[in-house]
Amino acid sequence: MKHRTALVVGLLCVSLALQRAGVAGQRLTAEFEEVQHFPGGSIQTSNTNTFPESSTISGSLVNLTAGGLREPHWHTPSEWAFVLSGTCRVTLVVAGSDHPAESWDFIQGDAWAFPSNAGHTILGLQDGCVYVAAYNSGSFDEISDSLGLSAWLTTVPAARLAQALNTSVANTALPNQGSSPILQGDLEALTAGQINAPLLATEASAFGQADQLQITANSHRFPVTYGVKPTITATGAGYIRQVDSTYFTSGVNFSGGIVRQDPGSLRQLHWHLEADEWQFGINGTLEVYAVTNQGQVLNGTLREGQAGFIPRGAGHYLYNPTSEPAYFAVVFNNAKFSTTSLPGFIGNLPLEYLAATLDVPANTLKSWNIAKAQELAAPQSTPSAVNTAG
């Protein structure tokens, strides 16, 4: 009994000490910048201007109206995005690839991956579209650091443009300045004459077939919502729908997923070997806790519309303290990410090593039910009692 009391008191002391050791000024989460409004929608950005801790990954939250067109553009950082609501039509041109040009309709829960400097454009369909995108550069700004088609061509001398397009100078008279980053067009006119791009809702029943999975995997679109593989579920805790280049071969620089955490659930204590983790709060509230170095503790709260960042190697967890489910998108800046969980790590160490390291009896460690630990841990049915008897 004395050993158990000593263990409880010891853990409480360590917890308080770590909380006091929190790194001043550093954050795990941050708000996006102010909304920038354009005729066909809006953009919010998150980068090192307002979130310097997120040094390797930036993001943008884009809202397109019906007929809102993100002008054709490209940028050096690779892009990984999730559609949060609505539908949009994405057209991508990748020179030298197996699929030099693709056009797909995306729905809620779908992901896309664009390689560096691949030209692309995104059109909001009937009900508009909201998506969140991540980039493998912490300082990147979607508006100022992208090269738009109109901004480029309006700077090319008319004679040179006419020569390049094999037409007359009269036919290359363009306005003196580029168009808006998000244009507002007539949806019917913008889609007139186009071949209707595949809509994933019509493919859900066939998606489990091997040939369908292969076709999807080889494109720059992956239906995370319908992803039969890989999905981690835990009764009473939620699910993790994740995908990397094993299934999504076009995602060469990123991997990611959608996570649901039910009330009281815990995203297992873990760390990532070769990737930083960038988060976007879709809805709900999550407590975020990370230890970056010996005794350096960061605490944060990930709320709807916020960005979060965990550097590689930092031990961390996410916990839902509320009575409502919480959803968040997660992106890793590696095509394949490796996770080491706390149970997976200590479960492979000799019991004697753990007892010596933690200064607790081996019999106490045997009570830790490591073999049944989950990636998402459901709330315990009853709180653990603390026995303070001598």
Same structural domain, 315 and 370: yes
pLDDT category of residue 203 using cuts at 50, 70 and 90: very low
CATH number at residue 37: 2.60.120.10
Task: Please check whether residue 119 lies inside any domain of the structure.
Answer: yes
Confidence of residue 372 (pLDDT cuts 50, 70, 90): confident
pLDDT at 386: 33
Is 125 found in the same domain as 242?
no
Domain of residue 82, residue span: 33-146+181-201
Q: How many CA atoms lie within 13 A of 389 on its CB side?
A: 3
Q: Is residue 166 part of a domain?
A: no
Confidence of residue 137 (pLDDT cuts 50, 70, 90): very high
Q: Are residues 193 and 239 in the same domain?
A: no
**Domain-located, residue 176:** no
More confidently predicted of 95 and 309: 309
Of the given ranges (246-250, 269-273, 281-285), which has the lowest mean pLDDT?
A: 246-250
Asked if 83 contacts 224 with a C-beta cutoff of 8 angstroms, the reply is no
Residues 267 and 367 in one domain: yes
Round to whole Å and give the CA distance between 79 and 22. 32
Average pLDDT over residues 249-265: 87
Same domain, 73 and 14: no
Answer yes or no: do 190 and 315 share one domain: no
For β-strands 36-38 and 238-243, DSSP reports them as unpaired
CA distance 362 to 172: 80
Q: CA nearest 32: which of 41, 22, 17, 42?
A: 42
Residue 109's pLDDT band (boundaries 50, 70, 90)?
confident
Q: What is the mean pLDDT of residues 47-62?
A: 97
Quick one: pLDDT at residue 97?
Answer: 56
In contact, 232 and 268? CB cutoff 8 Å: no
In eight-state DSSP terms, residue 171 is G
Per-residue HEC secondary structure of 195-225 comes to: CCCCEHHHHHHHCCCHHHHHHHHCCCEEEHH
Question: Which has more pLDDT, 300 or 109?
Answer: 300
Which of the residue ranges 14-28, 41-55, 201-215, 362-376 would you say has the lowest mean pLDDT? 201-215
Q: Looking at the predicted structure, is the pLDDT value of residue 164 above 70?
A: yes
pLDDT digit string (tens) for 122-135?
999 999 999 999 99
Count of domains in the chain?
A: 2
* Residues whose CB falls within 8 Å of the CB of residue 240, separated by 6 or more in sequence, listed in order: 231, 232, 233, 257, 258, 259, 260, 375, 376
Average pLDDT over residues 321-347: 91
Mean residue pLDDT across the chain:
82
Q: Binning pLDDT at 50, 70 and 90, where does residue 22 land?
A: very low
CB contact set of 343 (below 8 Å; sequence gap of 6+): 268, 370, 373
- Which distant-in-sequence residues (6+ apart) come within 8 Å of 83 by Cβ? 106, 107, 108, 109, 110, 111, 129, 130, 131
Q: What does the pLDDT read at residue 176?
A: 61
Average pLDDT over residues 340-365: 90
Nearest to 333 by CA among 277, 257, 266: 277
| pTM score over 0.85 | no
Are 126 and 13 contained in the same domain? no
pLDDT digits 0-9 by tens, 66-108: 999 999 999 999 999 999 999 999 988 877 655 567 788 899 9
Task: Give phi and psi for 142, each to the nearest 5.
Answer: -55, -35
The answer to whether residue 187 scores a pLDDT higher than 80 is yes
Beta-bridge mates of residue 256: 243, 331
User: 254 and 130 in one domain?
Assistant: no
